[in-house]
Amino acid sequence: MLCDDHTEAECLRRNLFGDKAKRLQDLDEIKPGDIGLLFNFDKDELIGVFRAHSEPKLYIEPDAWDRKFPAQVRVELIGKIQRVKDATFILNKAGVGMGPLASGVPAPKFPVHERDVIEKILAHFEEPIK
């Protein structure tokens, strides 16, 4: 999922990833147990590794992000917070498609389910998850 410098702390504090309501159907592929990462596009950094703890729903925590991102997934951190720099380069090299956000900032096209792509990304973390 995506965050920026303004939303990162709330994602981590609440163990919650969020997106706009219209993206709920795109997030429907996420199932409990799936591995996930947080991509801070302001810092070009991958943060993680997380496991989905719920299926995506509207307003798991209604007051999160001032109600701007109601399509939400509860997550749990696996191990400690890990940060990987040069995320855009790593994602491109692993084969993750990139597309522009409304602001023009390049962002990965999630979710990714191809095992070989996921393994290439997780290999950049200190404690890779298998």
Say which residue, 69 or 126, is predicted with more confidence: 69
Assign 117 a pLDDT band (cuts: 50, 70, 90): confident
Cis peptide before 108 (omega within 30 of 0): no
Q: How far apart are CA 8 and CA 32, in angstroms?
A: 21
Give the class (CATH, top level) of 2-122: alpha beta
Q: DSSP for 12-76?
A: HHHTEEEE-GGGHHHHTT--TT-EEEEEETTTTEEEEEEEE-S--EE-SSTTGGGGT--EEEEEE
Mean of per-residue pLDDT scores for the chain: 90
pLDDT value of position 68: 96
pTM given for the model: 0.88
Assign 116 a pLDDT band (cuts: 50, 70, 90): confident
Spell out the domain ranges in the chain.
Answer: 2-122
Q: Which of 9-13, 32-36, 64-68, 109-113 has the lowest mean pLDDT?
A: 109-113
Q: Each residue of 31-69: pLDDT tens digit?
A: 999 998 999 999 999 998 999 999 999 999 999 999 999
Q: Which two tokens stand for residue 71?
A: 């399509």
